[in-house]
Amino acid sequence: MNINGVGRVLVSLIGCMALHLAWVTPGFSGQKVNWEAINPELKGAVSVGKSDDCATCHSDSIEAFEKTLHAKAYRSLYNKEGGSSCEVCHGPLSKHLNASPEDSDRKLSTVVSFKNLSSQNKNRICLQCHEKGTKMHWRGSAHEMNGVGCSDCHYVMEKRSNKFMFAFKDSKKVCFQCHQDKRAKMYRSAHMPLREGKMSCSSCHNPHGGLGPSMLKESSVNGTCYTCHQEKRGPLVWEHAPVRENCSTCHDSHGSIHASMLKRKVPYLCQECHSASQHPSTLYDGRNVGGSASQSNRLLGKGCLNCHSQIHGSNHPSGARLTR
C-alpha cells in the first residue's frame, strides 16, 4: 500500500472513531432551544445554574421526579440532583425565581409550562437530548407530521411505567390512544400475542420513525416478518410470488377472524388472484357445496390448501405447484 493509501485509511479510521464518539457521548445531542421563541416573556432571562429554590413551591413534583429515569440519568451524567435539571425543560428561570410569590400571573408567564405548549415546541425541548439512536428518524416521521407530541406517549414528572417513561403502565395503551382500530383487531380470534404480553407494538414498529413503511423497524414488511418467521424466508426452489413481494397481501398482521391471520377465508383469498376459468382457479361459492366431491373439498375446510399445502414456497423437486 502506498503512502496515499495509508493516509486514506487513517483518515477513514479517525472519521469512524469520531462518529462513534459522537454517537455514544451522553449529553445534549440535538439543537439548542430558542426559549424566547417558545415564550417571549423569557427574553433576557438567564440560567441560574441550579434550581434548589424550585423545591420551595414544587417539593411534591420534585420528589416524584427524583424517582424517574430522567432524574437517575441526570445524576449519572452530571452528578447533580434531579431537581436541578428543571431548566433543561422549563427554560432559564431567573425571571421566574425573581418574580414576587404574590404575583401569580408573573410567576406563570416567566416559565415554560408544557400544559400550554404546542406539540412542535414540546418536541423541540425533548430533541435537545433525544435525537440519536432509535430517535434519529423522528424528524419527518408520520407521527411528527401528524402533530404527535412526545408527552402524548411519555410522562416525565413521575414514574408511571417500568420502561421508557410511558404515560401508561401498559405500553399498548399508549398506542391505542389513537390506533383504536388496531386495538379492536387485537381481540380477534387470530392475533399477534400482544394480549398475552409476549410482544408489543414496538416489536415491529419504531414509533419515532423508521426506514420502512408504516414506521416499521425493518426496511420492508417481509423483513419485519422474517425476524420471527425465518422459515418463510427461503431461499426456495419454487417461490410463491405474492409471498415474496409482501406478506400483508394475504395476512392482516394486527388480527383476523380467519385462521393464520388471513385477510379472507380460502378459497376466496386465493381466488382474488387466481380468477381464470377452470381448475385450479374456478370460482367456488355456496352454490358448489352440493356439487361434486372435488368442488366441496375445495370450498370447505382448508380449500386450496388441501392440495397446495406449501403455499409459502417449496424446495421439493416436484413442488412447482406448491403441492409438496
Q: What is the 3-state secondary structure (H, E, C) of 232-276?
A: HCCCCCEECHHHHHCHHHCECCCCECCHHHECCCCCCCHHHCCCC
* pLDDT (average), residues 218-223: 93
Long-range interactions of 304-308: CB distance < 8 A, separation 24+: 304/266, 304/267, 304/270, 304/280, 305/266, 308/280
Q: Which residue has the higher pLDDT, 12 or 136?
A: 136
- Three-state DSSP at 25 gives coil
**23: number of Cβ within 10 Å:** 11
* pLDDT (average), residues 303-324: 90
- Three-state DSSP at 313 gives strand
CA-to-CA separations, 287 to 144, 250, 284, in angstroms, rounded: 51, 25, 8
* pLDDT (average), residues 261-272: 88
Residue 322: exposure state from Cβ atoms within 10 A (0-12, 13-18, ≥19): buried
Is residue 297 within 8 Å of residue 306, measured between CB atoms?
A: yes
Which amino acid is it at 26?
P
Transcribe 28-68 into DSSP letters: --SPPP-HHHH-GGGTT----S--GGGHHHHHHHHHHHTTS
Q: What percent of the chain has pLDDT over 70?
A: 80
Q: Is the dihedral of CA 122, 56, 158, 76 positive or negative?
A: positive
In angstroms, rounded to a whole number, what is the distance separating the alpha carbons of residues 221 and 211? 11
Residue 14 has pLDDT above 60, yes or no: no
In angstroms, rounded to a whole number, what is the distance separating the alpha carbons of residues 299 and 288? 8
pLDDT in tens, 76-107: 877 766 556 888 899 999 999 888 888 888 98
Q: Is the dihedral of CA 151, 80, 159, 60 positive or negative?
A: negative
Residue 198: exposure state from Cβ atoms within 10 A (0-12, 13-18, ≥19): exposed
Q: Which residue has the higher pLDDT, 280 or 167?
A: 167
- Is 0.85 surpassed by the pTM of this model? no
pLDDT at 210: 85
Q: Which of 48-52, 87-91, 247-251, 312-316 is least confident?
A: 48-52
Residues in contact with 256: Cβ distance below 8 Å, sequence separation at least 6, in sequence order: 185, 188, 189, 190, 191, 262, 263
Backbone angles phi, psi at 35, to 5 degrees: -65, -35
Residues in contact with 65: Cβ distance below 8 Å, sequence separation at least 6, in sequence order: 71, 82, 83, 156, 157, 158
Residue with cell 387470530: 190
Grid coordinates in use for 46?
Answer: 438567564
